[in-house]
Structure 1
Amino acid sequence: MALDFTEYFERYEAVVADVDAVFRKFEKDTPELVKCGKGCSDCCHALFDITLVEAMYVNKMFNEKFSGMERSEILQRADKADRQIHKLKRKVYKASQEGRPASEILMEVSKARVRCPLLGDDDLCALYEHRPITCRLYGVPTSIGGEAHTCNKAGFEGGVKYPTVNMDIVLDKLLGIGKDLQKGIGSRFRELGDMLLPLSMALVTSYDEAYLGVKTDKDKKKTVEVEKEAAPVELKAPGAQPNPESEACASCTESKSACATCDSSKTIVLGGTDED
């Protein structure tokens, strides 16, 4: 039976609705500072990761909308972008191993430009209605870990106080959905909900039972067998004789002291005595 992610996608869409409402408020209150418009694709070259529920949602919408040559072209661009990102992350890892300051490395990463595979030749997003949350807030002041960020093309000036979107709160909500999803589908990957990945990888991934670590009937059977093997075992003490009346004793309603065959000294229970 196919996995059903409806509950988690609906919760994600609720977060999206809240985020869109915040962006519209910025547009209404500070229209001269928000410079986003059709054809502006600065955010489509930014380097960022998305959460598990975002990745699965975008993947679903992409698979529903595209087929044929158009789909193949986007997947080719996704593969190209993924290889660029991989090289960049290797470069960052090498720099960290060399002991370069974190601020210097982050500055270098912030300047990296990787074209989003969903950005068409017309500089428009091919999946605009279902774009990730980072894309939806790009262009207004945000804060991550207490540090402010905004689009270079926006009219917001450095050193001036503006209302700011706390991305840590948004991220916590998205990670929370991912963790609930991991538990809900019974994934054996405990850290699945904490996953962050590039949008390019989200497009080329198949979010099936194998990838998500969902236990199959075979896995469940193994778990039951292991549990049976781990169950408490009653061992006979050396020299003890088999008790022919064990079945009768099990259904007996009398006190054990009334039965001569009930001799606790003849058995050893793993984990301690009955008195323990």
Structure 2
Amino acid sequence: MLDDLFSKYAAIARKADYLFKTIQEKYPLSVRCRLHCCDCCHAIFGVFPIEAAYINYHFNRLERKLRRDVLRRAEKAEDEMLKAKDRLKVFEDNPKMKVFGLGKQRVRCPLLQDSEECVLYEKRPIICRIYGVPYSLKKENKEISYVCGFSGFEEKASYPTVKLDKLYQELTNLSQNLLTDAGYLNPVAKASLMLPLARILRMSFEDIMKGNFGE
């Protein structure tokens, strides 16, 4: 059953790659992603439970030294994220400002090596496959568009946009199936959780499968 879920997740990853490539081919001068370009690797983001399981599974198949280096960076990243959250406590009564402020924080991804290359590039999260082209997410019944600040896409111009909500819904569904198969009693409650990458790298695969995310 796990093989089937991972296969379906890999299909979503291929879809994300296809969507990225389609826009890149149409706007080659505007998509400026390149080797060692890693601005997006300093953004704070989360992964769905199915992504957490998939990434953790493949991470634990890397050689020991690589894993040790990543885990050291993951510990540092978690500390930096906790400090960032502490700084944002002043916005406790203003959720919008809190979310805005969190989006402005910079924390280096633990998978990013000193060479500025991702140690798990082929298995990277879905959002990492989309960043660099225009994408949108619904917030409070309003569709908000985003684009990399280093791209050549102009703010007020109209471009094809990746509807990230559609991909996220597929990830939520797979996450629910994962937790259901693992015997979790309330899979719907945790299927849409966004888990910090630094945390899930340090967790055991068994805990992820059981939904023991330690929120």
Under a length normalisation based on structure 2, what TM-score does the superposition of the two structures give?
Answer: 0.90
Q: Which residue of 2 aligns with 1:130?
A: 123
Relative to structure 1, the CA distance from residue 72 to residue 35 in structure 2 (aligned partners, 3 Å threshold; closer, same or farther) is same
Matched, 1:32 2:22: no
Q: Structure 1 residue 87 and structure 2 residue 80: aligned?
A: no
Note the aligned Cα RMSD (angstroms): 1.8
Identity of aligned residues (%): 35
What is the aligned residue count?
A: 207
Change in 2 beyond 3 A, CA 1:105/1:189: same
2:194 corresponding residue in structure 1: 196
Residue number in structure 2 paired with 1:7: 4
Work out whether residues 49 and 199 of structure 1, in 8 Å CA contact, stay in contact via their aligned partners in 2. yes
CA distance 1:115–1:100, change in 2 (3 Å): same
* CA shift for structure 1 position 8: 1.1
Question: CA, structure 1 residues 162+59, in 2 after alignment: closer, same or farther (shift >3 Å)?
Answer: same
Q: Does 1:172 align with 2:169?
A: yes
Aligned ranges for residues 115-154 of structure 1 at < 5 Å?
115-145=108-138, 146-154=143-151
Structure 2: gaps (5+ residues): none
SS of residue in 1 equivalent to 2:149: coil
Shift of 1:189: 4.3
Give how far 1:188 is off: 2.6
**Which residue of structure 1 aligns with residue 210 of structure 2?**
212
TM-fit CA distance, 1:210: 8.5
Larger gyration radius, structure 1 or structure 2: 1
Task: Give distance in 1, aligned partners of 2:209 and 2:172.
Answer: 18
- What does residue 226 of structure 1 align with? none
> Are the structure 2 counterparts of residues 192 and 66 from structure 1 closer, same or farther at C-alpha, using a change threshold of 3 Å?
farther
Query: Structure 2 residue aligned with 1:184, among 181, 186, 208?
Result: 181
User: Is structure 2 residue 58 aligned with structure 1 residue 41?
Assistant: no
Structure 1 residue 117 displacement after superposition: 0.5
1:127, distance to aligned residue in structure 2 (A): 0.8
Of 58, 62, 70, which aligns to 1:61?
Answer: 58
TM-score (norm 1): 0.71
Contact 1:143–1:149 (CA under 8 A) maintained in structure 2: yes
Task: Flag the structure with more relative contact order, 1 or 2, with Cα contacts below 8 A and sequence separation at least 6.
Answer: 2
Mark the runs of 5 or more structure 1 residues left unpaired by the alignment: 215-276
Matched residue type, 1:82: E
Query: In the aligned structure 2, how far is the partner of 1:193 from the partner of 1:122?
Result: 34
Residue 72 of structure 2 aligns to which amino acid in structure 1?
Q
* Cα distance change on mapping 1:38 and 1:170 into 2, 3 Å: same
Assess if the C-alpha contact under 8 Å between 1:8 and 1:181 holds in 2.
yes
SS in structure 1 opposite 2:61? helix
- CA distance in structure 2 between the partners assigned to 1:78 and 1:154 by the alignment: 28
What is the alpha-carbon distance in structure 2 between the residues aligned to residue 210 and residue 127 of structure 1? Answer: 19
- Partner secondary structure for residue 65 of structure 1: coil
Q: Per the alignment, in what secondary structure is the counterpart of residue 129 of structure 2?
A: helix
Would the alpha carbon gap of residues 155 and 210 (structure 1) be closer, same or farther in structure 2, given more than 3 Å must change? closer
Give the aligned partner of residue 262 of structure 1.
none
Do the aligned residues in 2 keep the contact of 1:188 with 1:213 (CA within 8 Å)? no
Contact kept in structure 2, 1:45 and 1:113, CA below 8 Å: yes
Runs of 4+ aligned structure 1 residues displaced above 6 Å come to none
